[in-house]
A and B are shown apart, each in its own frame.
Chain A
Amino acid sequence: MRFNASSTPRASWALKIAALGTLLFLHVPMWIIFLYTFTPDERTYTFPLPGFTTKWFAIAFQREDLWEALSLSFRVAAIATVVALVLGTLAASAVYRSKFFGREAISFLLVLPIALPGIVTGIALRTAIGGLDIPFSFWTIIIGHATFCVVVVYNNVLARFRRLHGSQIEASMDLGANSFQTFRHVVMPNLATALLAGGMLAFALSFDEVIVTTFTAGQQSTLPIWIFSQLTRPRDRPVTNVVATFVILITFLPIFFAQRISAQSSDSEGGSK
């Protein structure tokens, strides 16, 4: 490290092994579930697997309750994402374009739902909704999810705004475009991938959420709630394995692409949650 000032210093073997170990610790557990989707064993989690079967995929496919839970989760995540996209973009534009009193407070307020433990958000919403005698329904789930999805869109869009050159907007206005045309032809194309990334992350966040949902749902069962009930009282272990694998795959793609988009447009902002 002392002499090769110009080149990157080389990591010691110990550091490389430790880093690799952490990386494996992060990823291997999820692969184990894939393995278990093929177990013929219905009652235990015996390893090594006592055999090999693919029948659980077909069995899970025919479960009505799963399809209902899946469709509910999709609808909730889709609507919560749309709400988050609108509110998050509005807040980000406001914070970007003007300096006003309490600007810092807005970031703080938006980040609060993910900085405080989920149970605080959950029970707060439950007491408020219950206190107003609003029945717990599809819409109360969305109200809960939107509160913590907004910040994801907000962060992504604000980061993009900060890299957008003000001169582009000025040039557009100078060339005679009005605000709406400038927004449509200059701002929007620049924001598009940030919106896509923020939207996909918000979708993944809502699709997986369980803590707030347990407090804001009535009798509805989203897919995470279905999995949660299986965690506490396992009745359909093999089907749960299939569902868990499915959830990993379905959320992996949007997360992966969202991170790629953020990583491409900047080096260090990729992990800003």
Chain B
Amino acid sequence: MLTRISTFLYQRPRLILFLLLGPPMIYMAVVYVGSLFSLLINSFYSIDDFTGLVIGEFTLRTYSQLFTPANREIFLRTASMAAVVTLADVLIAFPLAYYIAKFASPRLKTWLLIAVTVPLWSSYLVRVYAWKLILAKEGILSWFITLLRLDGVLEWLLSFEVIGGSSLALSPIGMFIVFVYIWLPYMIIPIQTALERVPGSLLEASGDLGANPMQTFRNVILPLAFPGVVAGSIFTFSLTLGDFIIPGVLGNSKFFIGQAVYSYQGTAGNIPLAAAMTMGPVVIMIVYLLVARRLGAFDAL
């Protein structure tokens, strides 16, 4: 019996394909794409100012609300944070990625890769929580800074209005550290993958042609690692844009995009505005992905 079914199916590859592909595609298309589509539609609705109910008519009014000075500031604040976090992650990730790709022995490489991927998969929330302990005013980092007698420098940094706050745990500086920490593995792995593909012979050729290690690094390794950097930055940038937990836990009262979306849909009950606001990160990310594709980042993913 089974053999008959088997033969029947074997003669109809299209049917097999349909049977295999059907369930996952139906699920993703209906549940996921369908939801994204309903989000898009909702962003063209508006809310009645008096009753607070959603009016199901096409309008661009909700989008126009995005361009109020307050919202523009939120977009700018979030995008700048995403940009500096990405930059810092590149700088911190590069040495380790370079070491794993070009210097570590195969055995050590396996372990180092595990050491990088375990934090990537492990609990995001717990890792944020760890920093709440570390950055607290009475916590370990302040203790260490005081031990080094650098507490004056810390207070001086915290006194700046844009980046400072009452303590590290409630300031954009603290938020920056946590963002950098949380997304770091997402930057290390693509850079390592890109560097892994640089053939050793190329480095030797560069040396043979008279370049010193510094020149080889600048003219051969860096350009070839660039697609990996761009690939990593897709993650760090996108994840920072949409995050509402880190700014909520460590920030001051100044909103990030994610927090604004969260509060619009939650307490304010204004789903159209929340939907329109999420289109911000989506559009930024689509533009970013298009640019990244041009720069060859997808080969390094």
- Quick check: A270 and B114 within 8 Å, CB to CB? yes
- Quick check: B285 and A116 within 8 Å, CB to CB? yes
- Encode contact with A along B55-84: 1 for CB under 8 Å, 0 otherwise: 000000000000000000000000000000
- Encode contact with B along A38-67: 1 for CB under 8 Å, 0 otherwise: 000000111110000000000000000000
Q: Which residues of A contact B28 (CB under 8 A)?
A: 109-110, 147, 150
Q: Would you give the shortest CB distance from A147 to chain B, in whole angstroms?
A: 5
Q: Which residues of B contact A98 (CB under 8 A)?
A: 13, 16-17
- Quick check: B21 and A94 within 8 Å, CB to CB? yes
Q: Tell me if A219 is interfacial: C-beta within 8 Å of chain B.
A: no
Q: Which residues of A contact B234 (CB under 8 A)?
A: 115
Q: Would you give the shortest CB distance from A264 to chain B, in whole angstroms?
A: 8
A118 CA / B188 CA spacing, docked (Å): 21
B interface SS class: helix
Q: Tell me if B116 is interfacial: C-beta within 8 Å of chain A.
A: yes
- Quick check: B117 and A271 within 8 Å, CB to CB? yes
- Quick check: A2 and B23 within 8 Å, CB to CB? no
Interface stretch (choices B132-140, B148-156, B157-165, B222-230): B132-140
Closest to B141 in A: A47
Q: Tell me if B189 is interfacial: C-beta within 8 Å of chain A.
A: yes
Q: Which residues of B contact A162 (CB under 8 A)?
A: none
Q: Tell me if B295 is interfacial: C-beta within 8 Å of chain A.
A: no
Q: Tell me if B290 is interfacial: C-beta within 8 Å of chain A.
A: no
A258 CA / B122 CA spacing, docked (Å): 12
A interface SS class: helix
Q: Which residues of B contact A93 (CB under 8 A)?
A: 20
Q: Tell me if A117 is interfacial: C-beta within 8 Å of chain B.
A: yes
Q: Tell me if A194 is interfacial: C-beta within 8 Å of chain B.
A: no
Q: Which residues of B contact A97 (CB under 8 A)?
A: 16-17, 20
Closest to B122 in A: A251
- Quick check: A27 and B119 within 8 Å, CB to CB? yes
Instruction: Given A22-B92, A179-B6, decide whether A36 and B38 contact each other with a Cβ distance below 8 A.
Output: no
Q: Tell me if B172 is interfacial: C-beta within 8 Å of chain A.
A: no
- Quick check: B131 and A45 within 8 Å, CB to CB? no
Q: Which residues of B contact A208 (CB under 8 A)?
A: 122-126
A82 CA / B213 CA spacing, docked (Å): 51
- Quick check: A210 and B196 within 8 Å, CB to CB? no
Q: Which residues of B contact A90 (CB under 8 A)?
A: 20-21, 23-24
- Quick check: A119 and B138 within 8 Å, CB to CB? no
- Quick check: B96 and A18 within 8 Å, CB to CB? yes
- Quick check: A128 and B34 within 8 Å, CB to CB? yes
- Quick check: B38 and A124 within 8 Å, CB to CB? yes
A228 CA / B265 CA spacing, docked (Å): 18
Q: B20's contact among A26, A94, A251, by CB below 8 Å, is which? A: A94
- Quick check: A113 and B99 within 8 Å, CB to CB? no
A214 CA / B263 CA spacing, docked (Å): 12
A47 CA / B136 CA spacing, docked (Å): 9
Q: Which residues of B contact A147 (CB under 8 A)?
A: 27-28, 31-32
Q: B271's contact among A86, A112, A127, A271, by CB below 8 Å, is which? A: A127
Q: Would you give the shortest CB distance from A159 to chain B, in whole angstroms?
A: 13
A18 CA / B127 CA spacing, docked (Å): 22
Q: B126's contact among A9, A205, A248, A259, by CB below 8 Å, is which? A: A248
- Quick check: B282 and A116 within 8 Å, CB to CB? yes
Q: Which residues of A contact B9 (CB under 8 A)?
A: 179
Q: Tell me if A91 is interfacial: C-beta within 8 Å of chain B.
A: yes
- Quick check: B114 and A259 within 8 Å, CB to CB? yes
Q: Which residues of A contact B34 (CB under 8 A)?
A: 128
Instruction: Given A112-B32, A128-B34, decide whether A268 and B193 contact each other with a Cβ distance below 8 A.
Output: yes
Q: Which residues of A contact B193 (CB under 8 A)?
A: 268, 271
Q: Would you give the shortest CB distance from A181 to chain B, in whole angstroms?
A: 8
Q: B120's contact among A44, A46, A178, A273, by CB below 8 Å, is which? A: A273
Q: Which 4 A-B pairs have the closest CB atoms?
A: A117-B242, A18-B95, A178-B6, A128-B35
Q: Can you pick out 21 interface pairs between chain A and chain B where the beta carbons lie within 8 Å of each other?
A: A9-B102, A11-B103, A22-B92, A22-B188, A30-B127, A32-B134, A33-B129, A46-B138, A98-B16, A112-B32, A115-B235, A116-B285, A119-B262, A128-B34, A128-B35, A210-B124, A211-B242, A251-B121, A258-B121, A267-B106, A271-B193
Q: Which residues of A contact B (CB under 8 A)?
A: 1-2, 5, 8-11, 15-16, 18-19, 21-23, 25-27, 29-30, 32-33, 36, 44-48, 86-88, 90-91, 93-94, 97-98, 100, 106, 109-110, 112-113, 115-121, 123-131, 143, 146-147, 150, 154, 178-181, 201, 204-205, 207-208, 210-211, 214-215, 224, 227-228, 231-232, 240-241, 244, 247-248, 251-252, 255-256, 258-260, 263, 267-268, 270-271, 273
Q: Which residues of B contact A (CB under 8 A)?
A: 2-3, 5-7, 9-10, 13, 16-17, 20-21, 23-25, 27-29, 31-36, 38-39, 42, 92-93, 95-96, 98-100, 102-103, 105-106, 109-110, 112-134, 136, 138-140, 142-143, 181, 184-186, 188-189, 192-193, 196, 203-204, 207-208, 213, 216, 234-235, 238-239, 241-245, 248-249, 258, 261-262, 265, 271, 274-275, 278, 281-282, 285
